[in-house]
Structures are given as structure tokens and as C-alpha cells.
Amino acid sequence: MNRNYMELELKKATSHLAKLVYGGNFIRANAVTMKRVCGNPRCRCAIQNKKHISLYLCRKQDKKTKMTYVPVRLEEDVKKKINNYHKIKDLLEKISELNYKQLKLDKESV
Ligand SMILES: [Zn+2]
């Protein structure tokens, strides 16, 4: 990688990251789907054993894993926010690696 290319990559990644962060539109979580019964004795989940598939968010907080149920009406929005969070994480990592390369830190010997 030459220097100009690296600077261009760094600029691209940084401006992409800035846009995502500026929107404030992110949630740190891993999405998991689980089957569940809703509690209504007349629902198909109770009568026909056709369980509902629900979205939950898993996140570590104070060394504990927290599970949070996501209502159906918020699923799409929440998935987008999680996606943004992962993009931000990837971009941070990319920018960090580019800085290693730019400073040639990996090639320095102790
Ligand atoms: Zn049900």
C-alpha cells in the first residue's frame, strides 16, 4: 500500500465512521431469535404449539449477560441500529490498523 492510497482509505473510513456516530443511531447488542409462548391460552402458540419467533438483544453489562425482548413493531429499527453498531466497530478497527500501517509500527523491531 502506498501512502496516498492509505490516506484515502483513512479518510474514507473516518468520514463513514463520523456519519454513523453523528447519527447516534446505534445499539450494542447481539441479536438472537427465540421461540416463545405469549401466555394467551387461546393463542395458536398454546393451542397448536406454534410458538412465536421473537427477537431478543443480548448484551454484557457489569459482567452479566442481559436479554432484552424487542417488540415486533421495533424489530426492523433495532436491527438497523445493531448493524450500525457493528459497522462502527469494524471502522474503528480498520482505522486503527491503517494507523499501524501508516506509522509502520508492525515493522519496527524492539
Ligand atoms: Zn401466542
- List, run by run, the mean pLDDT of 10-residue segments along the chain (110 residues): 84 96 94 92 94 94 93 96 96 95 77
Residue 101 CA to ligand 1 center (angstroms) comes to: 54
Q: At what angle do helices 75-102 and 3-23 cross, to 10 degrees?
A: 150
Q: Strands, DSSP E only, in the chain? A: 30-36, 52-61, 64-70
Q: How far is CA 64 from CA 9, 24, 51, 57, 109, in A?
A: 37, 25, 27, 13, 40
Coil vs helix vs strand at 81: helix
16: nearest Cα among 78, 94, 101: 94
Domain ranges of the chain: 3-107
Give the per-residue pLDDT at 103. 87
Give the per-residue pLDDT at 102. 86
Give the per-residue pLDDT at 2. 76
Residue 35 CA to ligand 1 center (angstroms) comes to: 10
Residue 51 CA to ligand 1 center (angstroms) comes to: 7
Coil vs helix vs strand at 59: strand
**Locate cell 462502527: which residue?**
88
pTM (2 decimals)?
A: 0.79
Give the per-residue pLDDT at 110. 62
Give the per-residue pLDDT at 58. 95
90: nearest Cα among 4, 5, 16: 16
Residue 29 CA to ligand 1 center (angstroms) comes to: 26
